[in-house]
A and B are shown apart, each in its own frame.
Chain A
Amino acid sequence: MDQEKKTLNTVHENDLKNLLEKFGLLGKVISGSVKCKFCDKTITLDNLHSILPESGNFNLICNSSDCVNELIVYLNEKKVKQEKL
């Protein structure tokens, strides 16, 4: 029996600029005008933990443990809401 596999979408840092460019965010990140979705920290190419595409926007999350945990809680709560619908 084939075991279920869950896909985790990832981007290599070598391709990060390319991805942000395609999302129209590279210039903003380089100029320091993008903030983390969960805190006020400025997102840089070095502290970016993940990208969350949502309702036509691309939210960026910094790599502080607080924000990663906030992200996990946020995704969980979203799941609960979706289950209720």
Chain B
Amino acid sequence: MIAPSWAVLFWMGISGIAWVPITISIIKNPEKVQKWASMISGVFGKVWKEASYFAIKNNIEGNINEFVGELNDNTSTVFPKISIKWTAKNNEEIVWEEGGIILVMRDREHSGKNIAHAAYFFVSELMLKKAKLHLSKTQKTCIDLYATQKIMQKQGNSYSEQFMSSYFVPEIQKDVHGKIGEYIKKFTNLDRSGLFFPVFIQELNHLGNKVFLEKLNQDIILEADSLIDFLEAFSDREVGDMTVPDCFHGKYLRCSIRIVASTKSRINDKVDSHKKRIGDVISGGFEDIYIIGSNEKANSIFIEKVIKSVLADNPNVKLVKRYAYESEIKIKGKRIRVDTSLSHLVNSEAIKYIYTAEEMSEIRSEIFYENC
């Protein structure tokens, strides 16, 4: 018997070890695997017709579900993923439902067009489906355009350009009053500071879960606009400016953003002052409290301490999500990118799900947001 050489054993060992991170990566990133599978099968698609179906399906599902995965990571909501079902494939059964759309997919060389159509339709139909019933047509269109553009941007220039020319630019060109441009500009500002998905989309999702016993009037459209203005003003604040409004108290949406990032408080371990500021908004009836601060290790530990202390004193408050992301902050007018931590607390006692006709007709205060 010939003994294996050391070199063979060494390479077998390496390849054995290499499979572990590869397997972990596959489990952690199924959407990325779908995208790779789509690319590989696209090559074979020219010689194997079936692979074209496989490539298109995996390309669309991979790209959209990757975005949905990020959305779920960045909000406290679980958004549905997409599953492509072929109808009339190779003379097989025809699947359709009354009132349900059948989308036409072009061959693989039109993958940008396919994703643009599917992503826009998916975002419009499924993202914030209930909340969008209460928003204005322009608000809805802008949320759809912005969110779909985020999906397309990740896939590279050609996909992004396809979406821009098919949907985005025609909408902007039609918009003689510049309203769409205004909203998109505001969403971009919110997104730069990391507040678009984790706070704005999150708040709209809450709105969609509320029940209104009377037809909603213009109030809710105005309130959504004010929420955007509030978040934009907050996004644009200078670090250390404690005068910028940080509490939004609409008739239907009530949220507060608390910053836990002061080096002085942290060094002196002043948990109580932060606890009090957060406690004040809890007792003030705010439904959602977003705690923001640097994700640098020392601050992250301090935030954890503050939250633990708040939760111990308020059994009705739950930490529903804590996540880290990169955002832009403004120091002396200059924007810099920093690692940020956002914790979402929900004050279950303050949540109101049902609004009676009487409550809805109450005249609300003209001031939607302030520093508190």
Interface residues of A, Cβ cutoff 8 Å to B = 3-16, 18-19, 22, 48-55, 63-66, 68-69, 71-73, 75-76, 78-80, 83
Contacts and interface: CB of A to CB of B under 8 A. Distances in A.
B121 A19 contact: no
Contacts, number: 143
Nearest to B171: A65
Nearest to A48: B104
A6 B99 CA distance: 15
A11 B125 contact: no
B82 to A, nearest CB: 6
Given A3-B78, A18-B88, A51 B125 contact: no
B123 to A, nearest CB: 10
A63 B91 CA distance: 25
Given A6-B82, A52-B101, A68-B120, 18 more contacts: A6-B80, A7-B82, A8-B103, A10-B86, A10-B118, A11-B105, A14-B49, A15-B87, A15-B88, A15-B90, A16-B104, A50-B103, A54-B99, A65-B170, A69-B167, A75-B99, A75-B101, A78-B99
Contacts of A78: 99
A22 B167 contact: no
20 contacts: A3-B72, A9-B95, A9-B97, A10-B86, A10-B87, A13-B104, A15-B87, A15-B91, A53-B96, A64-B170, A65-B166, A68-B117, A68-B121, A68-B167, A69-B167, A72-B124, A72-B125, A75-B125, A79-B133, A80-B133
Contacts of A50: 101-104, 121
B42 to A, nearest CB: 14
A37 B113 CA distance: 21
Contacts of A76: 132-133, 140
Instruction: Tell which of B53, B96, B97 has the most Cβ of chain A within 10 Å.
Output: B96
B329 interface: no
Given A13-B107, A68-B167, A69-B141, A4 B80 contact: yes
A11 B182 CA distance: 37
B96 A4 contact: no
B56 interface: yes
The 5 closest A-B pairs by CB, nearest first: A19-B88, A65-B170, A4-B80, A51-B102, A72-B124
A14 B129 CA distance: 32
A13 B106 contact: yes
A72 B143 CA distance: 13
B89 A15 contact: yes
Nearest to A59: B101
Nearest to A72: B124
Interface string B141-184: 10010000000000000000000001100110010000000000
B258 to A, nearest CB: 30
Contact of B84 (A10, A22, A53, A80): A10
A53 B100 contact: yes
Nearest to A16: B104
B81 interface: yes
A50 B122 CA distance: 13
B358 interface: no
B57 to A, nearest CB: 8
Contacts of B122: 6, 8
B52 interface: yes
Nearest to A1: B78
A83 B96 CA distance: 22
B162 to A, nearest CB: 12
A65 B100 CA distance: 19
A49 B133 contact: no
Contacts of A53: 96-100, 102
Given A3-B80, A6-B126, A66-B170, A13 B105 contact: yes
A19 to B, nearest CB: 4
A39 to B, nearest CB: 13
